[in-house]
Structure 1
């Protein structure tokens, strides 16, 4: 029997497994995919998330893989460029491809002592007669089906994961997502640092992922979804044309691979725990990607969840500790969740109006960075 079974080995599951294993707990991680593999992502990791990567020892590993780290972002607001270093001071940020980030975190979980099984699909969450989660039924890559049991089953398998579907948690908040993301990877791209543009009718971004490579894209109102599906390249180049310097550098680069577009239509914040189960990452908190804060939310959740499970297993009162996690997660993530939800109500407005909606959340992110630097998050 395991102390914890974690379903999902990406940016929520692997850090939670790593932190629990470092505390001496027996952890099983089950991931249906094989790595390296891409998944739709914001890529950008805000300063609090990057600080957590540094705390864990992961930032150094990402740098060894060629991921560039920067101390500022350039914001183009309707033609006026703002250097965030001049506003907030130097704060480290990065935008690794998920083929680098997920592999790094998975490997660190395994190195910490977690048992990680790739290509393993959970087909059922198991419950006892009292409704308590007790384990999972899992099918491996060869089709073999086994049952595994644990003190707690963790759903870190995304917005449509089987753990969330099985426990059907009550929502704290639900909202419509108005933004539609579109991006591609480019090689031979000339960059100085992370950059984003709040332009009339669109948000554009260029996030360096490696030496002279970047994830470049746009977020626009979902009313343009039909155009995105019909001709993503036309929509992309029309939007970045509002920033002539970015357009010049993109046209000098070479697109590597297909276009990626998002299909998020609904966001939520759900209750994150119950009898013998917990959720973390997109399984509990899903919002518009405008702020690029989803990966950081997953990291913060992993820290809180690992602390709660450790406390619960040590005290013998796991359900009480998981309830504390549920409340702590809401307390920590709610301000930026609500700011992100409200900032992204509409994209069909001026760059100045987008910036005005964007900045309150940036102030909250700076407060979260200070919390991480002070040793948080805490239950």
Structure 2
């Protein structure tokens, strides 16, 4: 069984110095705790994901096709070399970065990204070894088929379960009916080994008409995925169209309904489905209508904010805010909007090894923010 490792940062990395924090340091109030929002770095081009390294530095993906290293509050001038071939088109580009559970000893990481050939574009995942400022032993371990020329809904979020299986989200590629086609990789979550094989115990491994890597299907475009700190289950959220963004717990073999069942409507204003529930369809744990366009999510497990212990934080692109959800088991009992005046599209939300919440904002001058107590 794999256990996620949380590394203790060097003291110099934990103490936020003048070099680390710009003058954009701001104080905000919330129902449970007041906090500072510290600007760690800026000048990123549509950053998509952040992963923390054991030496106190971090990796950040830029959708435009660069993997950057953040150390001591500064971005290295040169991006990491040796990335796999990828395409930047529409919503596609370099997407998520995820460390192997034993990264400290093996230096292995995983990247999700868009790829194009003469048959169209798709979502790929590659495994690689990080050697200082370059990737080595790069190998493609997953490719969603069939391809499409549509530049939408690549998804690409990844997470590990406690057994070391890799979960990969693939969007419906803007072609909604694909999410109910179980012979098509689009519109679902795939569970594989680190070598790219379907994981042992996958629910459809022996069923005709299903891709054996499928873990769930009927998912529109999952932009957030995280492991519950107590249960170990993988939680996700996905974009609805106009309304109907969802939070779900990913459970083996479940159909989450898109587009047969939805709380949203088409961008044209026309209905997509007359149903919000249906037998055999898993209902969302929580949904938003109108849409907030969620992206990135993390459970708070640090010690800086004991008032937030166990709360779920979700970024919002469209409504440009951070949402805090208090939970009672699998039920949302409180929802609070934070950073509503920031005016930034929040792309990623991560629990940092320093006990702070870390955010990435999506723009051509994307920023890295850090949330710490006000006092």
Structure in which a larger fraction of residues adopt strand? 2
Tell which has more relative contact order, 1 or 2 (C-alpha 8 A, sep 6+): 1
TM-score, with normalisation over the residues of structure 1?
0.26
Larger Rg: 1
Q: Could you state the TM-score of these two structures normalised by the residue count of structure 2?
A: 0.26
